[in-house]
Amino acid sequence: MNLSRIAGVGHYVPENIVTNDDLSKLMPTSDEWITERTGIKERRYFTEGKDTVASMGANASRMALQRAGIDVSEVELIVFATTTSEYYFPGSGVLLQRELGLPGIPAMDIKMQCSGFIYALSVADQFIKSGMYKTALVVGSEIQSNAIELSERGRNMAVIFADGAGAAVLQQTQNKEHSILSTHLHSDGTFAEELYMRHPGSLLKKRLTAEMITNGEVLPHMNGQLVFKNAIVRFMEVISEALEANNYSKEDIDLLIPHQANLRISEYIRAKLEMHEDKVFNNIMRFGNTTTASIPIAMSEAWAEGKIKPGDLVCLAAFGSGFTWASALIKW
């Protein structure tokens, strides 16, 4: 039976560090206010003229390939998760393909926001299980800071979201003891407008105007309270679903890597699961919410720090715009 395993993980974050104190000079906020509500102390913003969604994804991919001991020429499929592709079209997948020098192979984009990386992981996993491909590259990359207004009006989004990229190399295996055991994907469009960016989009009934930009109609919107309430419920559900599907209990998890949405959400989930701090990996304090990139960045750091070892049971879980939520259970 064909299965897939994660052979290597990598990440890239821009060199431009933006602290809470830096933001307090641009809008009415403070380090105390941001830390209390989100747990974030600093985040990374892209460097103009250097970083793009695809170039950051390529840097993360090269690290993942090097750690896996796999040459880039072996990659047969790219699944690229991003909300912030360089162009309206084409997607970032083909731009990453160009960056890596891989003409001819399929490169697809997944636009599922904060759940995007797990969705992309699931897509690649199915292709490998089917036998169609043996080596796939799964990438999450975002540049969000250029769409955030650094002002009082944009504060609730500006203090949270940031830029970065992460990648995982998947390879075919028949060894269930070192494989992706299952993935679980969900969505509910009922809440689509509670966390969204309306314009520019095809619902626009007239040409985009300067007035619409001035009025903030092109800025992202989030109903923070509603998102938080839904997130804590769906996180718990989808983690339990993954464990039950594979006959494991919460005590069997060696490391839980949640999407880095908000440290308060992660802490709530950890408390509900009665897990020790060492068993839940968080790095939102240093990187903010990098949307599709947050889980692979966290995986890459956890692996580098020795917190993920062969044979470990690792659970990934995410919740985000859509609403979407997802999980993956992995025997490393």
Catalytic: which of 11, 20, 59, 114?
114
One of 184, 283, 289, 315 is an active-site residue; which one?
A: 289
162-201 burial, b at 16+ Cβ within 10 Å, e below that, comes to bbbbbbbbbbbbeeeeebbbbbbbbbeeebeebbebeeee
59 is catalytic: no
Beta-strand pair 77-81/135-142:
parallel
In this structure, the dihedral spanned by the alpha carbons of residues 208, 214, 219 and 223, taken in order and rounded to 10 degrees, is -120
315 in active site: no
Respond yes or no: is residue 289 known to be catalytic: yes
Dihedrals phi, psi of 32, to nearest 5 degrees:
-65, -45
Cα separation, 323 vs 185, in Å, equals 11
Out of 259, 262, 282, 283, which one is annotated catalytic? 259
Is the peptide bond prior to 200 cis by the omega test (within 30 degrees of 0)? yes
CA atoms within a 13 Å half-sphere pointing along the CA-CB vector of 282: 21
Paired with 172 in beta bridges are 4
Give the active site residues: 114, 259, 289
